[in-house]
A and B are shown apart, each in its own frame.
Chain A
């Protein structure tokens, strides 16, 4: 029966023992013991199936469906799919100034907070590597914001940057610089820098911890030697630390870039993309189009473009940074 459905191609594959069990109506009898190989095959299938099923149904299938739905004009939560419009949603995306703004803000996040986080994380990690007492304590403290929910971070920083009772403006008034007080999240020119500051606050500790653990693998004798040869801290950093943590740095940069493109919750809680689209990113753009403007096909097209950008960028970064690994 199974053969008729699937053809002969499955006969030699790893799933064939399972089908044999289905066909013969049960496990082999005790008097004809299974071979080790058959037992292995059954185990392989049974152990892979639950994970593969959950992942396929709830991640891969919706992901593929997104490509499909993006080809349709579909408004409202109408159960029926709207008319097929081909690539129209994609063309519309590239003509839509709001969409361009969102992509632009993602690029901003890709560069500004990413670079700041990277520099700070490297600086902190190098400082801790240079054997500072209490390094473990500082690591624990700096890491903590990363455990917090974006919702809490968003609410907290929403207050910190608030115009009247915000901490930042309160501080400026305290030191008699009240004229510099701003509605940090309310002015288009200030909202992206403010959001970047929050992101750096959150992420620097995490990437510092990753880099510190990479630097632990560098033999200390290298630095001792450099010390004897009279290399200063800066030269040691460029000559020893940086080449030897390059592999980890590559992971760090990839994670930062993936994070920058996928940013959603923090911006949603802080500004919902406002004021007037000044902090709109692709994540909020997709969500708004689908669940606020009920423009499902278009929202999906934006999501597909977002996926393609993430995909292309992660390949690009990995290729670009793929140097020979430095051995010591």
Chain B
């Protein structure tokens, strides 16, 4: 009972009402059995394919064809070594880190600056500028892939890491502005006024007050944009035209498409696992921020 009231904190009167109608709670618990059943089935449907992918990545191809379900007799680390060398996954991971961290850093900083101005100053054209940024959230990436390719060619950025970095940054910016604008509005303006009276310049107010107080919003935006860049395939396909530019999703996809001839499927399982393991670790460490960030990102707008 004590445990229960801790789990469901509510007004004291309600707790006592619960106690009076305790048969209702028992009935509720019985009724919740089918709910658990549904949840457990879905949880298995989510988790088992991933577990299956991991242990299959350690089987031999012969074991895979002999039995879909069987565990590996001996973990085949060789699958990972083949995937790593064939897909050049080390380079791909570094590329992905460069694109993700670089574009998120750039877009979160510039987006926060713009959002600060849009949320805190009154000036002509403020609303139109806000809507201009907001439009970016609704533009489908497919609309721009061809002109982006042509633009990058004209800017001589087609064979450079900076091409993809800048394109990702450009796409991250509107989302960052959009969400942070809503977020910064929740910072009490008294704090900024007080700082201004103390002689802080507007720049100092941004650095010392807006950025620290808006940190959780910035973290949320950064995580979501990071995931988008880390996982993107479309722009990578269009712009990473040589092997040294390939980010991880494209490298793994290339491993998959080139395997149709050799039939070395366990190696593809290994490549997909290489992509999933860092995400899984990151998700376990940052799950609260990621889930909260996704909620803020979708609902703040």
What 0/1 readout, one digit per residue, does chain B (215-238) give for beta carbons within 8 Å of chain A?
A: 000000000000100111110011
- Distance between Cα atoms of A145 and B49 in the complex (Å): 11
State how many residues of chain A have any CB contact under 8 Å with chain B. Answer: 99
Among listed A90-98, A107-115, A280-288, interface-contacting one: A280-288
Within B158-189, the residues touching A (CB, 8 Å) are 166-167, 169-171, 173-174, 176-177
Q: Are B141 and A262 in contact (CB under 8 A)?
A: yes
On chain A, the residues within 8 Å of B174 by CB distance are: 55, 59
Residue of B nearest to A44 (CB): B117
- Give the shortest distance, in Å, between A130 (CB) and chain B (any CB): 8
On chain A, the residues within 8 Å of B141 by CB distance are: 262, 264
Tell whether B23 is near chain A: CB-to-CB under 8 Å. no
- Distance between Cα atoms of A258 and B136 in the complex (Å): 13
| Cross-chain contact of B272 among A156, A264, A268 (Cβ < 8 A) | A156
Main secondary structure of the interface of A (DSSP, over half): helix
What 0/1 readout, one digit per residue, does chain B (55-70) give for beta carbons within 8 Å of chain A?
A: 0100000001100110
On chain A, the residues within 8 Å of B271 by CB distance are: 155
On chain B, the residues within 8 Å of A165 by CB distance are: 64-65, 68, 265
On chain A, the residues within 8 Å of B117 by CB distance are: 43-44, 47-48
Tell whether B101 is near chain A: CB-to-CB under 8 Å. no
Q: Are A65 and B136 in contact (CB under 8 A)?
A: no
Q: Are B143 and A304 in contact (CB under 8 A)?
A: yes
Within A64-85, the residues touching B (CB, 8 Å) are 65-66, 69, 79
Within B128-142, the residues touching A (CB, 8 Å) are 129, 132-133, 135-136, 138-142
- Distance between Cα atoms of A95 and B144 in the complex (Å): 23
Q: Are B249 and A262 in contact (CB under 8 A)?
A: no
Residue of B nearest to A12 (CB): B124
Tell whether A296 is near chain B: CB-to-CB under 8 Å. yes
Residue of A nearest to B103 (CB): A54
Q: Are A287 and B32 in contact (CB under 8 A)?
A: no
Q: Are A132 and B145 in contact (CB under 8 A)?
A: no
- Distance between Cα atoms of A41 and B122 in the complex (Å): 10
Tell whether B202 is near chain A: CB-to-CB under 8 Å. yes
Q: Are B233 and A55 in contact (CB under 8 A)?
A: no
- In the complex with contacts A54-B107, A170-B69, A310-B140, A132-B35 CB distance below 8 A: yes
On chain B, the residues within 8 Å of A268 by CB distance are: 233, 237
State how many residues of chain B have any CB contact under 8 Å with chain A. Answer: 103
- Give the shortest distance, in Å, between B147 (CB) and chain A (any CB): 4
Q: Are B52 and A167 in contact (CB under 8 A)?
A: yes
Q: Are B145 and A303 in contact (CB under 8 A)?
A: yes
- Give the shortest distance, in Å, between B96 (CB) and chain A (any CB): 10
- Give the shortest distance, in Å, between A155 (CB) and chain B (any CB): 5
On chain B, the residues within 8 Å of A57 by CB distance are: 151, 166, 170
Q: Are B129 and A164 in contact (CB under 8 A)?
A: no
- In the complex with contacts A52-B129, A57-B170, A287-B237, A303-B298 CB distance below 8 A: no
- Give the shortest distance, in Å, between A283 (CB) and chain B (any CB): 5
Residue of A nearest to B106 (CB): A54
Interface residues of A (CB under 8 A from B): 13-14, 39-41, 43-44, 47-48, 50-52, 54-55, 57-63, 65-66, 69, 79, 123-124, 127, 130-133, 138-152, 154-160, 164-167, 170, 174, 201, 204-206, 209-210, 213-214, 220-221, 224, 227, 248, 251-252, 255, 258, 261-262, 264-265, 268-269, 282-283, 286-287, 290-291, 296, 299-300, 303-304, 306-307, 310-311, 314
Could you list 5 further interchain pairs (A-B, Cβ under 8 angstroms) beyond the known A79-B153, A151-B233?
A149-B279, A154-B253, A248-B299, A261-B140, A306-B140
A-B contact pairs, 24 of them (CB 8 A): A44-B117, A48-B117, A51-B110, A52-B129, A59-B136, A65-B144, A66-B143, A124-B42, A132-B32, A133-B7, A144-B280, A150-B249, A151-B231, A151-B272, A155-B271, A155-B272, A156-B53, A204-B42, A209-B291, A214-B299, A220-B14, A261-B140, A307-B143, A314-B138
Nearest 7 pairs of A and B residues by beta carbon: A58-B170, A170-B68, A62-B147, A149-B231, A65-B147, A51-B114, A62-B144
Interface residues of B (CB under 8 A from A): 7-8, 10, 14, 17, 24, 32, 35-36, 38-39, 42-43, 45-47, 49-50, 52-53, 56, 64-65, 68-69, 106-107, 110-111, 113-114, 116-118, 121, 123-125, 129, 132-133, 135-136, 138-151, 153, 166-167, 169-171, 173-174, 176-177, 201-203, 206, 227, 230-234, 237-238, 248-250, 252-253, 256, 265, 268-269, 271-272, 275-276, 279-280, 283, 287, 290-291, 294-295, 298-299, 301
